[in-house]
Amino acid sequence: MRAPKELYYKVNSFGGFDINDFYYAFYDYGPDDNDDVELLILKEKDGKDCLYSLLYEGLYSLSLDFISDAILFQDSCAVGRIPVVIPVKWDIKADGTAWPVFGTDGKAPKRLNMVSLKPDHVYRSLTGSDDFKYDPFTMRTKDKINYGCYGFKSIWQFNHEPDLSLITCDAKKGKPWIETDKTVTNIFHARNILTQRMTFPGCMAEVTIDGSKLNDGDFAGLAVFQGDYALVGIRKKSGKLYAAMASYTNPSDDIWKLGEEPCLIKENVDMIDSSLRVRITAVFSDESGDRDTAICSIYEEGKWRTIGTEQKLRFRLDHFTGCRFGLFVYSEEMAGGQAGFSDFRYMDYEE
């Protein structure tokens, strides 16, 4: 089973179905640098575009005997790919052949009225707040469903395979500590970054950073983590702690190339205490890409204030993932520093 030659090197994924003696083949391709879904009835040697939207590979549930749906992934700029449910109806021809019709007039509807097949089921959120008042090393074996991230709540994902020997947790105070074990030039090489997905159309997260155990050259805090990123937190330089905002925008035109340069410090503020409450607000756009920005804030003197500059976010193939919140610490001068994180709060945000 082959795609037409003119689509070679453009096809991203494929799915096939045998329904009532007809073979239906779905593949997505990008005729104009955007991927669409293509449908062919191979027995008839017929084919046509059936959906026009920035939709990529997904799952299809097709049958003439019941209501059908397609679950696809829609590119939404910096926030990444979002699962989209698209209703499918069947157009029965006079000769008995059937053609699946996706969406309305070739477009995915913005809202669906759907009947739950499990009305009593309690769905767990993919994102959320965390007070950290538990022991991950105990919960890892005690409750793998709700604490499926190496003992942390399942809303979290480590950016890579973690080194748990560098993590200690004070469950009573609700404060995990992450230690560094090497020196690096930027956050891309930091170990044990604890992340959460960011949500469309906007979201906000805040956390308290304890910098009392940082070494000179350490940076710890909250990141909007992607190929182009922003950081807000605590830096230690020449024995002093600073509230800092930093950012990085990849200068390369090669969308696969991961940046190796250090981030740029946009603002430093002297700290009196070793603890700092920080916040990142992200506003995402639709396919037009006219927003996709992050704003960093710190809490001082009883109120929030913006620190640094607004950071433009981009979906690139250097990370090949949507933006994430990330709890991080890394060392530029000497390994062994530690940062504590407590009272993480995740909120929806809409302008």
Q: What is the helix, strand, coil percentage profile of the chain, to 5?
A: 5, 45, 50
Interacting residues of 331 by C-beta distance below 8 A, sequence separation 6+: 180, 182, 183, 184, 215, 217, 218, 337
**In the 8-state DSSP scheme, what is residue 104?**
B
Q: What is the mean pLDDT of the chain?
A: 84
C-alpha 150/C-alpha 164 separation (Å) is: 8
Is the model's pLDDT at 21 over the cut of 80?
Answer: no
pLDDT band at 99 (very low <50, low <70, confident <90, very high): confident
What does the domain layout of the chain look like in residue ranges? Answer: 5-102, 136-348
- Determine the average pLDDT of the residues in 26-46: 51
d(Cα 29, Cα 90) in Å, to the nearest integer? 23
153 alpha carbon, distance to own chain's centre = 16
Tell me the residue type at 138.
T
What pLDDT digit, counting tens, does each position of 72-94 carry? 777 778 888 888 788 888 777 78
Each residue's pLDDT tens digit, 136-147? 999 999 999 999
Q: What CA–CA distance (Å, rounded) separates 266 from 309? A: 7
Question: Topology of domain 136-348, per CATH?
Answer: Jelly Rolls (2.60.120)
Cα 106 to Cα 29, 55, 177: the distances in Å are 16, 12, 51
Q: For the segment 105-152, what is each residue's pLDDT rounded down to a tens digit?
A: 777 777 877 778 888 988 889 999 999 999 999 999 999 999 999 999
Give yes or no for a cis peptide into 201 (omega within 30° of 0).
yes
The Cα–Cα gap between 150 and 146 comes to 11
Phi then psi for residue 42, to 5 deg, are -70, -30
Quote the pTM value: 0.84
CA distance 248 to 261: 8
**Which pLDDT value is given to residue 194?**
98
